[in-house]
């Protein structure tokens, strides 16, 4: 299988929702959903949370995950690349512990509905295709063929092409979007010019209900609703199974 690193980025600065990564979702800090999913997959040689906050680090440590260092300040700004933080972690573990990794899985904490099942399935695809990268996607809610820009006159002339207008919406091609939940990457590619979308890159398709990417309070409410519904369904199924037994 090779050595694998789960890299969970959790910087403290969040403009949309204050301390978003540790905000409670159904009574549990948001980031712990991703930490638990990574741990439960049993795929990783190490699960690591990269954070610049000592407060965040304590929450992570309370879940049994070691945080041996805090992310450098210059890698924690709004414009910082998360892949630079990944490189920082790889260098640290090699220098301090002699650990090297064949692949890294970037798991953003803002995707709490992604579970160990999706992580494992994406990894199976990663190995089967001998991929440089596997990235999770989900079906787009609306076709981009129905979008366009407006001119100064706000005219709708040719806003939607005749070909699209004359086609039933069900027959329009299906478009997909990156959902931000899973990025499996060979570490060998990180030393080169990083191209996540090259010839040896593949899509792992996730359902829309697992693809919530939390950016604002509305996203929190939607995720909470889906979680509660899922737990209620699981509880009902468990009760039925007990009655059968």
- Cα distance from N-terminal residue to C-terminal residue, the chain: 39
**Residue 170 burial (CB < 10 Å; 0-12/13-18/19+)?**
exposed
Does residue 35 have a pLDDT over 60? Answer: yes
Tokens, residue 99: 């650990």
Runs of H (alpha helix) within the chain: 30-40, 54-62, 82-97, 116-128, 162-165, 187-190, 217-244
Distance from C-alpha of 52 to C-alpha of 78, rounded to nearest angstrom: 13
| Nearest residue to 65 (alpha-carbon basis) of 12, 117, 29, 118 | 29
Distance from C-alpha of 101 to C-alpha of 31, rounded to nearest angstrom: 23
Q: How confident is the model at residue 92 (pLDDT cuts 50, 70, 90)?
A: very high
Average pLDDT in the 219-233 region?
A: 90
Cα 53 to chain centroid, rounded: 20
C-alpha to C-alpha distances, 129 to 3, 69, 150, nearest whole angstrom? 18, 34, 42
The reported pLDDT for the residue numbered 81 is: 86
Does residue 236 have a pLDDT over 80? Answer: no
Q: Which residues contact residue 40 at a Cβ distance below 8 angstroms, ignoring those fewer than 6 apart? A: 115, 116
pLDDT tens-digit map of 115-134: 999 999 999 999 999 999 99
The reported pLDDT for the residue numbered 192 is: 67
Domain 4-138+177-244 annotated CATH 3.10.310.30: no
Give domain limits for the chain. 4-138+177-244
Average pLDDT across the chain, whole number: 90
Q: Which residues contact residue 194 at a Cβ distance below 8 angstroms, ignoring those fewer than 6 apart? A: 83
pTM, to two decimals: 0.89
Who wins on pLDDT, 168 or 198? 198
Q: How many C-beta atoms lie closer than 10 Å to residue 51's C-beta? A: 26
Angle between helix axes 116-128 and 30-40 (nearest 10 degrees) is 50
C-alpha to C-alpha distances, 103 to 2, 79, 152, 167, 199, nearest whole angstrom? 8, 25, 49, 44, 18
Average pLDDT in the 198-225 region?
A: 94
Locate tokens 């741990």: which residue? 39
pLDDT tens-digit map of 143-178: 899 999 999 999 999 999 988 888 887 788 999 999
Residue 202, classed as helix, strand or coil, is: strand
Does residue 238 have a pLDDT over 60? Answer: no
Does residue 244 have a pLDDT over 70? Answer: no
The reported pLDDT for the residue numbered 30 is: 96
């Amino acid at each position: 299988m090779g050595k694998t690193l789960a890299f969970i980025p959790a910087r403290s600065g969040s403009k949309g929702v204050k301390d978003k990564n540790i905000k409670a979702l159904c009574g549990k800090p948001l980031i712990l959903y991703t930490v638990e999913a990574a741990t439960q997959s049993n795929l990783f040689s190490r699960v690591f949370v990269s954070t610049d906050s000592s407060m965040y680090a304590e929450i992570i440590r309370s879940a049994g995950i070691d945080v041996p260092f805090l992310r450098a300040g210059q890698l924690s700004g709004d414009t910082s690349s998360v892949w630079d933080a990944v490189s920082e972690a790889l260098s640290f573990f090699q220098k301090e512990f002699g650990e090297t990794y064949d692949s890294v899985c970037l798991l953003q904490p803002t995707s709490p509905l992604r579970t160990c099942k999706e992580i494992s399935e994406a990894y199976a695809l990663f190995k089967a295709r001998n991929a440089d990268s596997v990235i999770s996607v989900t079906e787009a809610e609306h076709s981009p063929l129905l979008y366009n820009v407006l001119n100064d006159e706000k005219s709708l002339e040719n806003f939607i092409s005749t070909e699209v207008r004359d086609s039933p919406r069900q027959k329009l091609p299906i478009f997909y979007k990156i959902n931000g939940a899973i990025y499996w990457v060979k570490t060998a590619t990180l030393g080169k010019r990083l191209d996540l979308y090259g010839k040896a890159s593949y899509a792992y398709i996730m359902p829309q209900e697992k693809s919530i990417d939390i950016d604002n309070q509305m996203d929190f409410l939607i995720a909470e609703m889906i979680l509660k519904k899922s737990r209620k369904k699981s509880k009902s199924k468990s009760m039925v199974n007990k009655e059968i037994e």
